[in-house]
Structure formats: C-alpha cells, structure tokens
Amino acid sequence: MSGVDRLFARWPRPLDPMRSFKVKVGLLVVAALLFAAGGFWLTSQQPFRFALLTALVVALGVTQVLAHGMTSPLREMTAAAKAMARGDYSRRVRATSRDEVGELAHAFNRMAEDLGADDRYRRELIGNVSHELRTPITALQAMLENVVDGVEEPDPAMMKSALRQTERLGALVADLLDLSKLEGGAMPLKRRRFEVEPFLRELSSVSAGDIEIDVKPPKLSVVADPDRLHQVVTNLVDNAVQHGNVDTKVVIRVRTGSAGELVLDVHDDGPGIEPQARERVFDRFIRGGSTDGGTGLGLAIAKWAVELHDGRIAVVDAPSGCCIRVVLPQS
C-alpha cells in the first residue's frame, strides 16, 4: 500500500454509524446541496459564474469527504483481491461501516482469513507429506541399491526391514485418504444401534498390545456408525500403545454420562501429555515428540470422525499416563 493510500485509509468516515447505504446516499445529497447553497449565498455578491463555481467546488469537496467512507472499502477489497490472486492473503479491509458495505467488508475479511488458513494448511501438508514419504522411500532405495550393487544379500532380515518401510508407506497413504474423505464429507454416517462390549472385544482381538475393556453396564449399547467408531477406537489404541511404556496396558472404559451420552476413555500408563500441548495433539502430523514412525494423522482422523457424530474428543486429567475421552451424544 502506497503512502497516499495509507493517508486516505486514515481519513475519518463520518457516515460509518449509519446502518443503511440508502440513508448514507440521501444524507450525502442533502449535505452537498446545503453546503453548495451556503457557498453560493456567501458569494452571491460576486459575479454569477464565480458564485456558481464556488458552489460546485464546495459540493464536490463535501461529497469527497462524506463519500470516502462509502467507497473506500470497495477500493480496499479490490486491492486485496488482486493481492490474493498473487498469493498474498494478509491484506485486510477496514470494516468500520455498519451498513451493507461494512457487512460485505467483514465477510471479505473472514474469507481472506479462511483462504489464508487453507493456503497454510496446503503448504504444511505438502511439506509434512514430503517429509513423511522421504524417510521410508530413502530407506527402501538404499536397501535396493545395496542389493543391486551386490553389497548385501537379500536375506530375511533385510526383507523384514523393507516390509516395515512398505507398511509405513501404506499406513501413511491410507491415513491421508481417510483424512481427505473425512474433510471432504465423502464419508456419510450410517448410524445404527449395537452393543459396545462385543464391538470392543472384536476390535481388541486384532489390535496390538495388552487391552483391558471395562464397560458398565455390560449390555450398554450405542447409536453410531460402527466403521467410524472402529476407526476412532483403533487410532486411540494405537496411539496409546505407541506412546505408552514397554508392555503397557491400555484400558478402554465406557460409561453413560449424566446427559445420557456415551463416554469412552482410552487410558495408557505412558508419560502423559503436558496441559499446554493437549490441544495440538489432534492437529495433523503432530506426534508429541514421538519418533516411532507413526504418521501423526491418527488423532486428527479420530477427531474428525468424532465430530461427524457431533461429539467431543479431548485429553483429560488422569492420575498417571494419558487419558483421551470421547463423548458421543445419543439423542
């Protein structure tokens, strides 16, 4: 923004308190006529053309001062839109007016913030995915080059290592696809009622780690999408196993809340999460300092799936370890 533009941006806007653009236009016409008539009257003793010129200059000056606040948001929006086209989402419009143009300016600023956030997310996603893909691909490339060059023989240990890197790539791609579908709304919920304990028993039979299930009452049922809830619990259990102590025991505790909602806690005996970091663990690619090869998308996917059910997910206080609570409304 040039110095002249900044100067005009600081000009007072006397008509901003008005809530209607039509009222502003009416006041502008009345004020211009009154000041023009006053200027004409003051110079009426002068030659007619001088008095007329004075009235016109006064009318134009009053119009410029009063109309500045009516049109400047539109000019600012035009300049900001051109900046957005160049990839600059930092420009904002001065939105002090209370009329329709002011509402448009507020909406424009919100749109600019959303576009800026989407652009940052896109850049971070590209950077994070590139980093996550580079590690297993580099490891696989090194192993294959050693085999091709005859430096190493493809023994079972090497094949197991290559398989682990391939599984890591597959997990990352699957998580990215799930997250893309959840964010795009391509995963509609198919709610039905089912019992919680058999559902969790079946899930624990295929999960890694020592899992204890505590459901009260034993016949407790839930109305939810089984596939999405399976995704939530699996990701929470995997997170607990990865971040817990060696031979950690993961406890899944399910109760009915005071408002009739389903309350599901997944608790591990690991080091826990600091209070200031509890909100960020549900962001994409946040692994809480873990270097175990996780994709950093599990909790983000769990959060999206819970929010699809209009539920809540959060890290809650626990005597030891980490406890993540999921609350699903049942009404």
> At residue 188, what are phi and psi to the nearest 5 degrees?
-65, 145
How open is the CA angle 281-286-290, to the nearest 5 degrees?
100
Compute the distance between CA of residue 175 and CA of residue 15 in angstroms, rounded to an integer. Answer: 53
Beta-strand relationship, 312-316 and 322-328:
antiparallel
Assigned token pair, 76: 């600012």
Cβ(64)–Cβ(75) below 8 Å: no
Residues 21-38: tens digit of each pLDDT: 777 777 777 777 787 787
Q: What share of the chain is helix, strand, coil (3-state, %, to 5)?
A: 55, 10, 30
pLDDT < 70 stretches in the chain: 1-18, 68-69, 95, 125, 128, 131-132, 179, 182-187, 206-208, 244-246, 284-296
Residue 196 confidence (pLDDT): 93
Per DSSP, the residues of 134-156 read HHHHHHHHHHHHHHHTTSS---H
Residue carrying the six token digits 């175990």: 292
Cβ(255)–Cβ(266) below 8 Å: no
Q: For 25, what's the count of Cα atoms within 13 Å in the CB-facing half-sphere?
A: 6
Residue 75 confidence (pLDDT): 79
Cβ(196)–Cβ(222) below 8 Å: yes
**Cα-only R_g, the chain:** 32
- pTM for the predicted model, two decimal places: 0.55
Residue 294 confidence (pLDDT): 47
Domains of the chain: 3-113 (no CATH), 192-328 (3.30.565.10)
Measure Cα distances from 96 to 16, 73, 173, 306 in Å.
6, 9, 47, 39
